[in-house]
Chains A and B, each alone.
Chain A
Amino acid sequence: MISNNIVYKNGRSLFEQKEINVSGFLIAAYHHFGMNYPKFYKMDVISKLGLLATEVLLKDDFKIENYKAEDVGIVLSNANSSLDTDLKYFETTKEMASPALFVYTLPNIVIGEISIKHRLKGENAFFVSEKFDAGFMQQYVSNLFNNNILQACICGWVEVFGEEYKTVLFLVEKMNSNTAQLFTIENINKIYEI
C-alpha cells in the first residue's frame, strides 16, 4: 500500500518521506527501492504509483517463473480514472500539447506499464467506481480463475487526483497455500483498510 507518503507491505512501513509532494515522494521511493528503470521518470503519477506498488508487492514473494506470462493478469480500479493526467495534458494544449502526457490519458495505461516491466501477458481490466468495491473485485477475479483464464492476478486500487492518492495492491494466486489469506470480500476489505 502507498498512502500519505508511506510505502507499506503487509501492514509494515518500508519507506516514508514526509513534507514532499507526491511526485517527489515517488521519485524518492523509486531510488529507495533501487528500481533502476529510467522509463519510470517519464510516467504519469498513476503509472508511477502502480509500478512502485507492484515492485513492492512482488519483491521476494512472487516467483514469476512458476507461471506462464499469459496466466498472470492485472485487475485494477479507482475513482478518478486518468483525470489527474487529463487535466495536466489539457494545460499543455493551451501552449503546445505534450505527446508524452497524451499517451497517459487513459486509466489502463498503468496496467500496460506494469505488464511491460514484469513481462505479464494475462487478461487485464481497469474499472472506475466511486469507492473501492471488494465484492465486485472478488467476483470478477474469481470468474477469471474459475474459467481457467488466469492462475494469478495483481488486483487493487490505484487512485490519484492532485496531491490526494492511495494505492492498495494485492496478489491473488489460484494455487493452494498454507500461508495466504482466503480470497474473500472480508479479507479484501481488510487489506484495503490497513
Chain B
Amino acid sequence: MILKPRLNDVQIIGYYLGKIIIGVGLFMLVPVICACALGEMNPLLDFLIGIGISFLVGFVLTTICFTEKDLNWMQGMIVVSLCWLFAMVVSAIPLYLSGHYHSFLDSCFETMSGFATTGLTLTQDLDHLSYAHNLWRHVIMFIGGQGIVIVALSLFVKGFSGAFKMYVGEARDERVLPNVIHTSRFIWLVSIVYLVLGTLALGITGLLNGMKPFNAFFHGACVFMAAFDTGGFSPQSQNILYYHSLPFEIITIVIMFLGAINFKLHYHLWTGNFRELTKNIEMRMLSFTVTFTFLLVAIGLYKLKVYPQALMLFRKGFYQLISGHTGTGYQTIYALQFNEWGDLALVGLICAMALGGAVCSTTGAIKMLRIGIIFRALKEDVKRIMLPEKAVIFEKFHHIKEIFLEDKQVRSALLITLCYLLLYFGGALMGMLLGYPFLFSLFESTSAAANVGLSCGITSVTMPAILKITYIMQMWIGRLEFMSIFTLLGFITAAIKGK
C-alpha cells in the first residue's frame, strides 16, 4: 500500500525550497553590481525584476510553509530535485528579458545548461550580449558546479542535521571533512583560491595575446568559472577558438583537469599528500580511459587525414577529448567540423563523454570510481573461475584509504551505470525520431546527459521544442544522478495513487 504524502511533508519541502530560491535571488546581486559598475541600465532592470520575482516566490513559500522541523531523507531529496527546476525558471527571467533568446523555453534551456554545468547554449547574437548577462551565465555555472544546495548550506544556513540529506541528493555522497557544512565551505575555499589564480593566469595570457585589459580579466574570470566547474560556456560565440592562443588552451586544459578531480583528492593535495595522485583508483582509471579514448580519436582522425600534421592532430584531438572527458565542453573547432571527424573519432569522443571525471567533483556522467569498481568486480570474478574453489578471494582498491570491494558497492555502481546508459540512448532515440542521424543523435544526447556541452550542431534555436525539453530533462537527471529524481517521481505517484 502506498501512503499519500501528508500536508506536513509539503510544508517542509515548501519552506526549504523557498529559502533556496531566496538564495538564488541573492546571487543575482553579482550581475547587478556589474551592471551598476559598467552603466548597463537595461540589464540592471532585468536583474532587479529577476530578484523581485525570486524574493516574492521565496518569501511567499517560507511564510506560508513556515516550520521548524528538520528534513527527512525523502523530503531532502525532493527539495533538491525541485529546487533545480525552480532555480532554472527564476534565473531564466533576466536572460529572457535581455532579448537574446527566442523563447522562454530557450532561456530555461540556457539556465539548466548552466546549473547542470553542461554548456550547450541557445543564446542568439552572443557577441553583443551585455557584460552583466554574460557574467550571470557564468555565475550560474559556478553555483551549479558547487551545487545549488551547497551554496545555500554554506552561506545561508547555520547548520542543521537535514543538511547531509540534501548534500547527498545533489549527487555528492562523500564528505571531505566530518561536518557537511565544513565540507561545503572547504569546497568554496578551494574554488575561490583557484578562481583567483585561474583568473590571473588567463587574464595575463589574454593581455599578452593583445586583448584589452578589462576584457582580458573579465574573460579570464568567466572562462575559469566555466572550466573549473566543467561547464563550457564562453563569453564569445566562437568559444575558445576566439582567443587563437596555444597558452590559453594549455591553461584551460589544466583548469578542466583540476575541476574533474575529487574534492577529497584536492584536500589531500593541499595537505601535501601527493602520493594519493598515483595511488587513487580514480586517477588510475582516468589516465587509462584518457589514453584509450584518445587512441580511438587519433586513429580515426589519422585514417581520414583530417589534420595534415601529427602535432596539429594532437592539439585539436586532445583538446576536444579532454574537454569531453572532463565534462567541460570547450571547443577549438566549430560544431559542424565534427562532420569531418568520421565515425571512429566520434565514437572515441562519445565514450570519453559518457565516462566523465571523478566522483565528488563538478563533472557529470558515470564517473571513474564506478568504472574502477566494475573493473575490479570483473577481475574478482575471473579470479574466482581461475583459482581453486577453496581459495579465499578478495579484491580491494585505494580511494583515499584501502577499501575492500563489497557486492553492495558493485550493485550500486552497475545500477547507476545502467541508468546513465539508458539516459544516453533515450535521448538518442528521441533525436532519431525527429530525423537526426544515429551517431549525431547519440553524440548530442550523451553530451547533454553527461553534462558535457560539446555539440555537433544539433543544438540550435531551430531544433524542435520537444528535443529542447528532452535535453533539459537529461541535463537535470544526469546532474542529480537519478536518486532524487526517482524520489520525486515516487512522491508524485504516492500523491496520486496513495491512500
Asked if chains A and B come from one complex, the reply is no
Binding site for A on B (CB under 8 A): none
Binding site for B on A (CB under 8 A): none
